[in-house]
Amino acid sequence: MSAESSSVLSQLMTVIESRRDNPPERSYTTTLFAGGVERIGAKITEEAAEVVEAAGEPDRSGREHLVREAADLVYHLLVMLAHRGVSLAELEAELAGRFGVSGLDEKAARRPNEDRP
């Protein structure tokens, strides 16, 4: 990930956290927070399905659609993290800790209920 994209994610998370802490009346993010895990989770599920659908579309237009849908998914995921009080730094630390570790080994090392919500 480039420093520029990381900066964009940091900026976006800052805006999301600000909307959580000082909710403006006319804000889509505010409505998501008001709906809690259930509403945010439904949007994550919807957007994830749209990412998969877009990934199967051919040509450049399919690729562009995939990028748009992936951005929607990342936004909604960041809203969920903010709703639960998880910072972008915590997410980055978790990902950084996985470098050099096989995904299969990492998953096998988890406690039995660790990957359940």
Say how far apart CA 39 and CA 9 lie, in whole Å: 22
What is the rounded CA–CA span in Å between residue 40 and residue 52? 19
pLDDT in tens, 16-35: 999 999 999 999 999 999 99
Residue boundaries of the structural domains of the chain = 3-109
CATH code for the structural domain at 3-109? 1.10.287.1080
| Cβ partners under 8 Å of residue 84, min gap 6 | 37
pTM of the predicted structure, to 2 decimals: 0.82
Span 25-78, pLDDT tens digits = 999 999 999 999 999 999 999 999 999 999 999 999 999 999 999 999 999 999
